[in-house]
Structure 1
């Protein structure tokens, strides 16, 4: 069986449609379909069945897709062992992290690894929480830093979780704002303020909207940014207020932060696939993440 075709099958199980697999693999949908048909011929087994205009995996296809991830991980591990001759962790580790964890957690860990393991290559990917587990299950990442709160992420027995830290959700206001005092704050007091939000359907946009509605108001959203630095700049200019994770509040910006009267924290977790052969490279990367946590996040 061709490993590349196995990866396409694994991605189909994770992403759900041929079109999504094609987009992820930078192929046309017809090319993906052709390669999956070749895989069926190689295995002498029906792996796909058509349902209307879409295809879905048969029972045999599901079994092979899930076994494929283990097979591919094993091949990666063998390649890493050959490269390093068993002397030290080596090979490629793909580390996915959401925006505010990249500069506070991922980059320090990658720098630490680079000094200690010259034969280990770390590919750093920006993956927001709603994207990360799909990438992990589909084989596009080996480790992801994500959040596992609020019941939004599809966890399961195929994943191993390593809790790293906790991070509070804070109200961020301009300097000199009447709400820039001390102590916990009730969000309802900011119902008439202009709000800066993350992009629609993102983790923080959904959470901020939920918290505002729990305080019995609909926020007046005046801007949406997919970058926390832009949101902080907008707040600093006195144009909005925002709800942001503590790790996202860069101290270079002149803003004030307030804790919420009803505290909300997110649990920051490293996740790897369960059942794969142990890879020294993945283990040392996990260790690097735990060694290089920012002091502000050591709430666990």
Structure 2
């Protein structure tokens, strides 16, 4: 029996994305072509990998088992290719990193700059993804490292994912300089129940967290602006007089705002997630080292 790596990747993508149509879009193939290749894979293995439920196709238990093994196989092939290229050389190759907004400018970009000097053969590609999106991208094989946070997320951790702690980041309330709570060292959110709030977009990590913290403080926030860019949120606080909750790493000193810790204090733990089988790749290791040493 000979297994085709490309067909194995399609099987892994079907497990991660859920539909043949989504796999076809990700692979830039037609849905019929993907279905044919998966049928060939079934023939190659002599096992029933797929079953139809209504109009959808899903993996059987055997299909899930093969997909799990296939991820290891594909990662090991990538490792072998990288090791062959790197014999007698510094680490090289492309490492794809997914990260949420504030981590990009505070962690990933500084790490990339440092790597250009220390390991010029390593090329870092960056995608901005929310924490709940980046882990899925990691499992699909779309990225090699996901800079994320597992705090406040309901999704279970995957056994194929290894977490590397990077740092702890406080969640702070941000107000205009002349605000009545600006002189306090720590702020109880209940004191801001009547304020106009700037929030992230619905369904994002910070929107979910800010909503939860306000409700725990006993009020429903009056949201007057929603922005998917922290710099715009800071500008809104500065110019429109709103208040917001942000990770401390996201507070840019160029804006005339005041950031204060919460009562009780709230933190998020920033981690780098990798597939366990990628841990031995030299290029991934040097990127992780750079992320760990990035200036705060």
Tell me the TM-score range normalised by the shorter chain: over 0.9
Give the CA deviation at 1:219: 0.8
Q: CA deviation at 1:116?
A: 1.6
The Cα shift of 1:140 comes to 0.7
1:298 matched to which residue of 2? Answer: none
Deviation beyond 4 Å, 4+ runs, structure 1: none
Bigger drift between 30-39 and 213-222 goes to 30-39
| Corresponding residue number in structure 2 for 1:119 | 121
For the 8 Å contact 1:79–1:91, the answer to whether it is kept is: no
User: Where do 1:143-182 residues align within 5 Å?
Assistant: 143-182=145-184
Find the counterpart in structure 1 of residue 213 from structure 2: 211
The CA deviation string for residues 162-183 of structure 1, in whole angstroms up to 9 with x for no partner, is 1111001010112212222221
Distance 1:262 1:28 in 2: 53
Alpha carbons of 1:267 and 1:231: their partners in 2 closer, same or farther (altered >3 Å)? same
So what's the TM-score if we normalise by structure 1? Answer: 0.92
Match of 1:286 in 2: 288
Within 1, Cα distance between the matches of 2:190 and 2:54?
48
Contact 1:194 1:222 in 2 (8 A): yes
Instruction: Mark the CA change 1:26 to 1:181 in structure 2 (over 3 Å): closer, same or farther.
Output: farther
C-alpha distance 151-277 of structure 1, shift in aligned 2 (>3 A) = closer
**How is 1:120-269 mapped onto 2 (pairs within 5 angstroms)?**
120-269=122-271
SS in 2 for 1:217: coil
Q: Distance in 1 between matches of 2:170 and 2:158?
A: 25
Q: CA deviation at 1:53?
A: 1.7
The one-character-per-residue Cα deviations of 1:221-252 (angstroms, maximum 9, x if unpaired) are 11111111111111111342110000010111
When normalised by structure 2's length, the TM-score is 0.94
RMSD across aligned positions (CA): 1.7
CA distance in 1 between partners of 2:33 and 2:225 (Å): 40
Structure 2 CA distance for partners of 1:273 and 1:227, relative to 1, 3 Å = same
Q: Which residue of 2 aligns with 1:270?
A: 272
Contact between 1:81 and 1:90, CA under 8 Å: does it hold in 2?
no
Give the Cα separation in 1 of the matches to 2:86 and 2:80: 10
Match of residue 4, structure 1, among 3, 6, 16: 6
SS at match of 1:242: strand
State the alpha-carbon separation in 2 of the partners of residues 82 and 232 from structure 1: 48
Summarize the alignment of residues 19-168 of structure 1 with structure 2, pairs less than 5 Å apart: 19-168=21-170
- List alignment gaps of at least 5 residues for structure 2: none
1:60-110 CA distance string (max 9 Å, x none): 211111111111111211221232234221122111111100011001111
Q: How many residues align?
A: 294
